[in-house]
Amino acid sequence: MLPKSTLYVVATPIGNLRDISLRALDILAAVDVIAAEDTRTTGHLLAHHSIAGKMMALHQHNERTAAEKIIALLAAGKSVALVTDAGTPGISDPGAILVSIVREQGYRVTPIPGANAALCALSAGGIAEPHFLFYGFLPAKTGARKRALEGLKSQPYTLAFYEAPHRILECVADLVAVLGAQRQLIFARELTKLFETIHTCALGDALAWLQADANQQKGEFVLLLSGAEVQDEAGISDQSRHTLELLLENLPLKQAVKLAAEITGESRKMLYALALSLKVGNSVQ
Ligand code: SAM
């Protein structure tokens, strides 16, 4: 028996229909009503798991009116599950309005965790940087998209975007235009599905890779982009500093600076100043 008057926010698979928790299946089988973004998509999931649930529609165009109906159900002691087409409700998906109304009215909201496309991509991306910024969908039009990217340009965190197949080429073109060609990009396409692809490349090589195989432009994407390089006060990145330090261990100062400038593209004058300060620092120790 489920507790009465509770809204369960239930994560569903992002592709493979078996990527759903046992608890989620128990809840879906036991609630009085399942509020679904698309009742056909959820019907397919329920049928796959032999669950016969009573459904109602809750999507971005009716969320407030559906929320009123759900409040009436909760007031009558019923339990309700919220699901979207894929992944976790409320994450680039409907759900936040309903959840806030239900909580405002004093009813219990319980999350049932599970799949999320961004976390799934991050888990298989192999990115050592521990912090990330989940952005979700960028604006659909290029001007607004570039403005949004300008606002993210200096963030040092891995950036996680969602993108639709019909916008993938223009989105990648704007990413290169605003963030430059050097950053690392991980395409995570069709995760947990038949044509799952996880491809890493320099952002500057991404368009050519996509254009070389039209199949790679199909399906659903998560894009993970390395963050802005952290620079010291003089504007030298951590990576350039590291290169200089390695060269200084084996070469005379002037030669190390010359090579470091060629490798990193940083100003020779600034690298020289940094090399001097590193040498002084080392001799003081
Ligand atoms: N609520 C979902 C979640 O928790 O991830 C996200 C829903 S959002 C409307 C749909 C977007 O998520 C897609 O356009 C795509 O960018 C991403 N996505 C969903 N499933 C995916 C998959 N199997 N592989 C890659 N990206 C996926």
Query: Ligand 1: which atom is nearest the Cα of residue 121?
Result: 25
Q: Is the CB of 240 under 6 A from ligand 1?
A: no
At 217 the pLDDT is 95
Among residues 25, 98, 31, the alpha carbon closest in space to that of 58 is found at 98
**What is the best residue among 9, 85, 92 to mutate for testing ligand 1's pocket, by most ligand atoms within 8 Å of CB?**
92
pTM, entire model: 0.85
At 281 the pLDDT is 63
Along the 285 residues of the chain, how does pLDDT read in single tens digits? 889 999 999 999 999 999 999 999 999 999 999 999 999 999 999 999 999 999 999 999 999 999 999 999 999 999 999 999 999 999 999 999 999 999 999 999 999 999 999 999 999 999 999 999 999 999 999 999 999 999 999 999 999 999 999 999 999 999 999 999 999 999 999 999 999 999 999 999 999 999 999 999 999 999 999 999 877 777 787 778 888 999 999 999 999 999 999 998 888 988 898 888 887 766 655
Instruction: Give the gyration radius of the chain's Cα atoms.
Output: 25
What span, in angstroms and rounded, lies between the C-alpha atoms of 45 and 149? 36
Query: Ligand 1: which atom is nearest the Cα of residue 193?
Result: 23
Beta bridge partners of 44: none
